[in-house]
Amino acid sequence: MTERMLQFTHLPQETPKKRDVGERRTDFAEIYKKFDTTKAKAQSSRCSQCGIPFCSIHCPLSNDIPDWLKLTAEGRLEEAYEISAATNTFPEICGRICPQDRLCEGNCVIEKGFESVTIGAVERYITDTAFEQGWVKPIRAPVELPFSVGIVGAGPAGLAAAEALRGRGHQVTVYDRHDRVGGLLVYGIPGFKLEKEIVMRRWRWLEEGGIKFQMNADVGGALPFAELRARHDAVLIATGVYKPREIAGPGAGLPGIVKALDYLITSNRKGFGDAVPDFDSGLLNAAGKRVVVIGGGDTAMDCVRTAVRQGAKSVTCLYRRDRQNMPGSLREVSNAEDEGVVFTWLAAPEAFLGDNFVTGVRATRMHLGLPDASGRMSVDPIAGSSFTLEADLVIKALGFDPEDIPGAFGAPDLALTGWGTLKVNPRSFMTCLPGVFAAGDIVRGASLVVWAIRDGRDAAASIHNYLSEQTLAQAAD
Ligand SMILES: Cc1cc2nc3c(=O)[nH]c(=O)nc-3n(C[C@H](O)[C@H](O)[C@H](O)COP(=O)(O)OP(=O)(O)OC[C@H]3O[C@@H](n4cnc5c(N)ncnc54)[C@H](O)[C@@H]3O)c2cc1C
Ligand code: SF4
């Protein structure tokens, strides 16, 4: 069947069509359309089935990409789905929001000379089709085990762990301080990258599989961590990182300067039809405003594009490095540019202007210097290069650090790394507290959904081993 493959020599790369800019600027629906069957087959057939699949090696989940591309090219889609789902808990989500240019697709060998196989779009197509065709079955526990596991955090790390534990027969309860499941998938990442129904569909699927959810459960607040430990045989902390990095400087405390996640959560809640007073009052609504977003990561990209959709008068992204040195996905930068966002590279804020409310940002031009110890180029201000941007809304999107989990959980013995993330044994994912494990951003620092899924799956395997060993030890007593 290899004759069906290797079509890259004459078949050009095609990504799924994007919705027209004029249309997509006005709503929060996903911008990429789904491949149709003919396109998915044809694009899959471009794979060269190379001996060493660098795409799989650079996929954090080691997805068996060449195999599911071949099966898709052959029209054996249900088998492609089985193989894809064997290594990835949420393939349709990763297919949509992984930065493929840095992971699988960026390492596709036909990329050299020809453009890569559109792996993410095919991955999404396979599982979207599997849902439509009813191939996605509820999780089935082979046996019911007596162990109970409590998971704090319903983001991708917690959910991937919940699925893997339930699939082995454990009794799993997931706790989250939010009212909806998904973590940043639901309240961080906007609908134009990942429609909410995709996440809600997975919530229903996890519940049908027997996983229990306790929402509005603030662990360390109304629900003490000690009580959670007493309830369960093992606990997984998958709480993500939520402490926003701040900006100093004159005027930094002026009203109208807001935190990125407050802004994005508000917008996502409005998308669900929730009442959000800070949106209705205009505080967290960009409509009619001149918006300046500070930062160059995925969060900043999501803020600028949300502001466009809310009807901002103008949207400028201020970032101290240049396009090549920004942490956000280049695909999203070009989508943002198409949607009318202006990027002011190599510029950083010096001061915020205004008396009772922000009216502008005074910024200075920067230049890139020599790489520092971490390998990133230093950034230095250029003397006398100040300029002013008028603004009615300034959004700070400078990244996130971990919250004080030991303090919040009343568990001062919970060891931390130098970055304030939870310290775990890298093989077992166990913290220094017996039976308490951790995974996802709270261990890794702000990272990617695909890594959270990987960590959640690995932590689940380790929790399963730990509980099995406990049983053996008890039997031997
Ligand atoms: C705006 C934005 C855009 C992003 N875009 C992308 C992207 O396009 N692609 C990509 O791969 N990654 C992206 N990321 C990163 C990605 O979302 C994270 O790496 C990933 O969600 C981490 O998963 P997690 O499960 O560790 O944590 P989270 O998704 O943060 O989930 C943690 C959960 O724990 C809950 N929680 C926290 N504390 C408590 C407590 N005390 N009690 C109860 N519950 C608690 C939270 O409510 C949350 O639901 C983005 C991040 C942001 C902020
Ligand atoms: S999970 Fe992400 S990195 Fe892996 S194949 Fe899918 S899109 Fe690529």
The alpha carbon of 449 and the centre of ligand 1 are apart by a number of angstroms equal to: 8
302 lines ligand 1 (CB under 6 A): yes
The alpha carbon of 455 and the centre of ligand 1 are apart by a number of angstroms equal to: 13
Which ligand minimizes its atom distance to the CA of 300? 1
The alpha carbon of 96 and the centre of ligand 2 are apart by a number of angstroms equal to: 9
Question: Cα 448–449–452 angle (5° rounding)?
Answer: 90
Tell me the pLDDT tens digit for each residue of 428-444.
999 999 999 999 999 99
314 lines ligand 2 (CB under 6 A): no
In the chain, the percentage of residues whose pLDDT exceeds 90 is 86
Residue 305 and residue 147: Cα distance in Å, rounded?
A: 45
pTM for this structure? 0.96
Tell me the pLDDT tens digit for each residue of 42-88.
999 999 898 899 999 999 999 999 999 999 999 999 999 999 999 99
pLDDT at residue 114, rounded to an integer:
76
Tell me the pLDDT tens digit for each residue of 404-461.
999 999 999 999 999 999 999 999 999 999 999 999 999 999 999 999 999 999 999 9
The alpha carbon of 241 and the centre of ligand 1 are apart by a number of angstroms equal to: 7
Tell me the pLDDT tens digit for each residue of 105-140.
999 987 667 789 999 999 999 999 999 999 999 999
- Index of the ligand 1 atom closest to the CA of residue 181: 49
Which ligand minimizes its atom distance to the CA of 261? 1
pLDDT at residue 256, rounded to an integer:
97
The alpha carbon of 403 and the centre of ligand 1 are apart by a number of angstroms equal to: 13
Mean pLDDT of the chain: 94
User: What is the Cα gyration radius of the chain?
Assistant: 23
Which ligand minimizes its atom distance to the CA of 455? 1
Which ligand minimizes its atom distance to the CA of 127? 2
450 lines ligand 2 (CB under 6 A): yes
Nearest-CA residue for ligand 1 atom 21 is: 184
Q: Is the pLDDT of residue 1 over 50?
A: no
- Place 329 in a pLDDT band, splitting at 50, 70 and 90: confident
- Index of the ligand 1 atom closest to the CA of residue 158: 25
- Index of the ligand 1 atom closest to the CA of residue 405: 41
Tell me the pLDDT tens digit for each residue of 283-323.
999 999 999 999 999 999 999 999 999 999 999 999 999 99
Residue 77 burial (C-beta neighbours within 10 Å; 0-12, 13-18, 19+): buried
In the chain, the percentage of residues whose pLDDT exceeds 70 is 98
The alpha carbon of 238 and the centre of ligand 2 are apart by a number of angstroms equal to: 21
298 lines ligand 1 (CB under 6 A): yes
Q: Are 463 and 236 in contact (CB under 8 A)?
A: yes
Return the minimum-mean-pLDDT range out of 16-20, 23-27, 188-192, 374-378.
374-378
- Index of the ligand 2 atom closest to the CA of residue 103: 3
Tell me the pLDDT tens digit for each residue of 361-405.
999 999 998 887 777 788 899 999 999 999 999 999 999 999 999
459 lines ligand 1 (CB under 6 A): no
HEC letters along the chain: CHHHCCHHHCCCCCCCCECCHHHHCCCCCCCECCCCHHHHHHHHCCCCCCCCCHHHHCCCCCCCHHHHHHHHHCCCHHHHHHHHHHHCCCHHHHHHHCCHHHCCHHHCHHHCCCCCCCHHHHHHHHHHHHHHHCCCCCCCCCCCCCCEEEEECCCHHHHHHHHHHHHCCCEEEEECCCCCCCCHHHHCCCCCCCCHHHHHHHHHHHHHCCCEEECCCCECCCECHHHHHHHCCEEEECCCCCEECCCCCCCCCCCCEEEHHHHHHHHHHHHHCCCCHHHHCCCCCCCCCEEEEECCCHHHHHHHHHHHHCCCCEEEEECCCCHHHCCCCHHHHHHHHHCCCEEECCEEEEEEECCCCCCEEEEEEEEEEEECCCCCEEEEECCCCCEEEECCEEEECCCEECCCHHHHCCCCCCCECCCCCECCCCCCCECCCCCEEECCHHHHCCCCHHHHHHHHHHHHHHHHHHHHHHHHHHHHC
Which ligand minimizes its atom distance to the CA of 90? 2
pLDDT at residue 475, rounded to an integer:
67
Nearest-CA residue for ligand 2 atom 3 is: 59
156 lines ligand 1 (CB under 6 A): yes
Rounded mean pLDDT, 204-231: 97
